[in-house]
Structure 1
């Protein structure tokens, strides 16, 4: 990553944004194993370590740089802030089940998929605003 950022800098970029990883252990492909009830802490610990190394690399790049400034867009904190159920301005929880996607494909079909007979192979929640994650594919 550091080498690529240096290349971008050599091309003349003066401001460079780099995204951290979101909590991968909270994505539907992982939380499906707990019926969308729990994040995988092992995966999130690995992501936290990655993001720590990213912060250290960006700090070193900024320290070594005379012309460029590198910024981190913190997706991890953005995701966890939403997933931790902070109430909206009316005190209502934003999502009933924050880890559960609105649309779930069945038997390997994507959300919106139909079989050869045109039968819908997915389910959709009743209110799109009730879900943080939009779609997911199940394997069974």
Structure 2
């Protein structure tokens, strides 16, 4: 099936989660396995990849999720900390798909046999031809093509028999450390957030007439934390909202990078739970937990509908 071909860096992820193994890990001691025929199919990139991109030797920027310090806050199925255990996730522990899987399968029954999550993080717009000197009109046109293709692929998924579809909208891309780095992590990039807003408005329009489709409002959930002037309770828990916990020593480097002599070319914060972002684009475990806490109720309400 042709999926989201407009994205030049899109990764296709396909995995099935059951009620007792949301993270594809073992069942905690003392808990009886409860198998389920409910399936979650995920199509996305860094925000949802639970370990599908392979490890390379040597590790590169695109396989860094398999290297320390990724997974540095990992806790095994028995509740024991296992630091330095990368699981292929772009974070220090759990990511969006883990929290969605837990919400859907563990915290109550669902009435649909299959659910699909279509997720993009904003990296997909960082491709040649739509950045740099591109005009607003060029970017708007590109965004229009992207949202129409997402719409077409939602239709294809439903024709294949997927009962319900979840679609991420774009988070405020201009607030990611990759964008705020140029001003010493002090303020969001207006242009980046504008592009995300245009994308989200287009997405809302093309999805308006579809049944059994729910847009996960990442933009609002992220904004409540990283760009909230009043300072919500969720926002206050993070001392650093626009800077990464893991930062490369080189502006063109990446978290997890090492020299040929195994010298670490990055710094890692001491308290990841005080940082919203883990690296240049992806939230920390604590960041995702705060985001999904806001989105859990509307997500559950949508899933529980007949």
| TM-score category of the 2 structures, normalised to the smaller one | 0.7 to 0.9
Taking structure 2 as the reference length, the TM-score comes to 0.39
Q: Deviations over 1:32-84 (max 9, x none)?
A: 0111111111111121111011011111223xxxxxx1110111011111212
Where do 1:60-79 residues align within 5 Å?
60-62=209-211, 69-79=212-222
RMSD of aligned alpha carbons: 1.9
Tell me which of 7, 16, 19 is aligned to 2:168.
19
Out of 128-137 and 95-104, give the one that drifted further.
128-137
Q: How many angstroms does 1:114 deviate by? A: 2.1
Deviation at 1:101, TM superposition (A): 0.6
Q: Indicate the residue corresponding to 1:105 in structure 2.
A: 248
8 Å Cα contact 1:105/1:136 also seen in 2: no
Q: Which runs of 5+ in 2 are unaligned?
A: 1-149, 282-306
Which residues of 2 match residues 55-134 of structure 1 at below 5 A?
55-62=204-211, 69-83=212-226, 84=228, 85-87=231-233, 93-107=236-250, 108-134=252-278
State how many pairs are aligned.
128
Deviations 1:76-127 (A, max 9, x none): 0111112124235xxx921222101111012244323221233221111121
After TM superposition, give the deviation of residue 18 of structure 1 in Å: 0.7
* Bigger mean CA offset, 38-47 vs 113-122: 113-122
For residue 129 of structure 1, report the CA deviation from its aligned partner. 1.0
Match of 1:2 in 2: 151
For 2:156 and 2:280, the matched residues in 1 are separated by 36
RCO greater where, 1 or 2, for CA within 8 Å and sep 6 or more? 1
Where does the alignment leave 5 or more consecutive residues of structure 1 unmatched? 63-68
Query: Which protein is richer in helix relative to its size?
Result: 1
Alignment TM-score, normalising by the size of structure 1: 0.82
Alpha-carbon contact 1:2-1:57 (below 8 Å) kept: yes
Q: Distance in 1 between matches of 2:165 and 2:280?
A: 32
- Give me the whole-angstrom Cα distance separating, in 1, the residues matched to 2:174 and 2:280: 15
- For the residues of structure 1 that align with 2:202 and 2:236, how far apart are their CA atoms? 34
Are 1:22 and 1:47, in contact at CA under 8 Å, matched by a contact in 2? yes
Alignment check: 8 A CA contact 2:176 2:280 kept: no
